[in-house]
Amino acid sequence: MTSERQRLIIGEAVEVELPVARLATRATAVAIDAFLQIVILFALNIALAQAAIEANIAVQATLSILTLVFVFVVWPVAFETFTRGRSPGKFALGLRVVRDDGGPIRFRHALTRGLIGVAVEWPGLLLAPLTWIFGSACILFTARAKRLGDLAAGTIVLVERLPDLSRTPIVMPPELAQWARDLDLTGIDDALAMTLRQFLTRAQGMRAEARVSLGRRLADEIYQSTTPPPPPGTPAWAYLTAVLAERRRREAERLAARRAVVALGAPGLPDHRNSVSPQ
């Protein structure tokens, strides 16, 4: 089954496609939330039992109902509302509920999801566990893996926490290694280097048209800031990757040289052991 993705706008005004959360991930998030709800319910029941020892049966029944409403309706709805679509389970797994158009949910979305969840999903007051099976099938066979609450509220659940690509190593294209050693990189400041790094690490999440367009514009800017030009026929992605890889290689060499000199105790040289390397 092909994974559905939702396009969202990030700070660089580029559409990034986030994958829709599937059944296994969502079930794990629900299990975490359910465990916490049961713990809270147990603790509240103990506290209310101590406080209502001398109360009559009607008062105890009312308190029990209010406790259930708080744990299974008020608490999850308030949590998703104030965190813009994240329950404790979703937070742990990097998920978030958003509107169908990708915007943040509001109270009415959280309330609709919460009420339907209590009725037919978790805990499922109507014909559980049959409704659990139906809800799971709904996630499996709807286009955006929607449960019943999502269908009614107009929401979807996305995998927001993707792998941290910022730590992905930038590998020098072998055919450009010798050319890159003669590059004059003095025109590339830290801000431009950061922009280049963000583009290269996020390129796979961009639409093809946006990736090509931004790559060409960034290559033109880098081209004007460096010499000599790349070999004829060099693709933009290879050119940009080589520039950033060479800049990082030189920074690593400078840092290693500083540390070596400091380790030898050279007089008059400031201690850079606690300095932060440039981007």
Confidence tier at 53 by pLDDT (50, 70, 90) = low
Confidence tier at 278 by pLDDT (50, 70, 90) = very low
Give the angle subtended at the CA of 143 by the CAs of 128 and 201, to the nearest 5°.
115
87 pLDDT more than 70: yes
Length of the chain: 279
Count of other CB atoms within 10 angstroms of residue 82: 10
Mean pLDDT of the chain: 78
| pTM metric for this prediction | 0.54
Closest CA to 205 of 153, 159, 272: 159
Instruction: Give the mean pLDDT of 216-245.
Output: 88
Radius of gyration for the alpha carbons in the chain, expressed in angstroms and rounded: 27
Three-class DSSP category at 121:
helix
Give the residue, 12 or 142, on which the prediction is more confident.
142
